[in-house]
Amino acid sequence: PVNTPNSIWIVELLKLLKVVNTGSEGRRLIEQGAVSVDGEVIKDGKTEIVLRNDMVIKAGKHKIFKIKI
């Protein structure tokens, strides 16, 4: 659901969470299969995520975030 309320590009979300500094780093992490949302691995760097309460974002092994809206 592109352009819906609370939707955000996955790479932009990674930058906002300070996981990566650049879009290239974010896309690289996604290509390596290191990013998951609620346990589902993100494989496409163009994915739009619809944010909802208690969503779990995992980037790499040690960076885990729980979204509160």
SS3 22: coil
Beta strand segments in the chain, E: 7-9, 35-37, 40-41, 48-50, 55-59, 63-67
In this prediction the pTM is 0.86
Residues 12-69: tens digit of each pLDDT: 999 999 999 999 999 999 999 999 999 999 999 999 999 989 999 999 999 999 998 8
Q: What is the pLDDT of residue 5?
A: 72
